[in-house]
Amino acid sequence: MSRRYELAVLGSPVSHSRSPVMHRAGLAAVGLAGSYVAIEVDEVGMTVQAGRLRRSELHGANITMPHKRTAARLADVLTTTAARAGAVNTWFMVGDELVGESTDVHGVREVFSRRALPTESILVLGSGGAAAAALVACAGHRIAISARSARKAAALLERTGVDARLIDWGIGLTGATVVNATPIGMHGDALPEPVISQAAAMFDMTYGDVPSPALSATQAEGRPIADGIDLLAAQAEESFRIWTGVQPPDGLFETVARNVSRPPPTPPIQEESE
């Protein structure tokens, strides 16, 4: 009898998530039986869902805001990547141990590769979980970080152990690929002008119904861009591969995610380092 995969995304709010349509399409495309559902959970609910994985009632789960730190705490084992990022967005079982992984880090690296974003110089904006994933993904390159709270940015560098220099908020970095890990742009607000005008490329980790002002301005100059849908699809593909051992068809997850009818915007990226 072939295995049936019971998968879920856990969070609050979670009704906006495009993960169910991506993963259901992936299961159908590769001929695997299973389901993928969105489950609204609080802190207590996270413990309940962890128990379901340990009892094989769930075979894998994604975790979204605000529970990525809780997911790390509840896991028996963290991958090296998840430990550095300080957050978990994917659960799976190895033997009798619940493993926590951050496929967001893998996703950031994939986006840089797929969208041919320059890596000679990288400017990460933000000081929260999204910025942590970007820093860990880009470790080893020449990185600068900038946030509205320099104290929180410095604390993030210490926590992740990534070698990067701290620059003042609003200062541009000539020739850098800017990774926007803040909520700025989701509702039509703009990043500081020098940050945009001096960028060689723009990677906005958020997404909505229309491109952010930073993406639109960068694209108008003929420079490479990437958005949160690129990241969403790339990290989802890695989760799917971990759970099933099968790689979904190239481009499927991105196509599905971009064609969900009238989705609400993503919830705000948490910039504070809590």
Helix (H, G, I), strand (E, B) or coil at 21: helix
Task: Report pLDDT for 261.
Answer: 62
Task: Report pLDDT for 67.
Answer: 94
Tokens 């299973």 — which residue? 34
84-141: pLDDT as tens digits: 999 999 999 999 999 999 999 999 999 999 999 999 999 999 999 899 999 999 999 9
List domains and CATH numbers for the chain. 4-103+229-258 (3.40.50.10860), 106-227 (3.40.50.720)
pTM of the model: 0.92
220-271: pLDDT as tens digits: 999 999 999 999 999 999 999 999 999 999 999 999 999 986 544 444 454 4
What is the distance between the alpha carbons of residues 218 and 212, in angstroms, rounded to a whole number? 10
What is the distance between the alpha carbons of residues 167 and 229, in angstroms, rounded to a whole number? 28
192-214: pLDDT as tens digits: 999 999 999 999 998 877 899 99
Residue type at 20 in one-letter notation: P
Residue 162 reports pLDDT greater than 70: yes
Measured in whole angstroms, the distance separating CA 64 from the mean position of its chain's CA atoms is 9
Residue 2 reports pLDDT greater than 80: no
What is the distance between the alpha carbons of residues 250 and 180, in angstroms, rounded to a whole number? 25
Average pLDDT rounded to a whole number, residues 47-54:
98
Task: Report pLDDT for 271.
Answer: 41
Residues annotated as catalytic are 68
What is the distance between the alpha carbons of residues 28 and 21, in angstroms, rounded to a whole number? 11
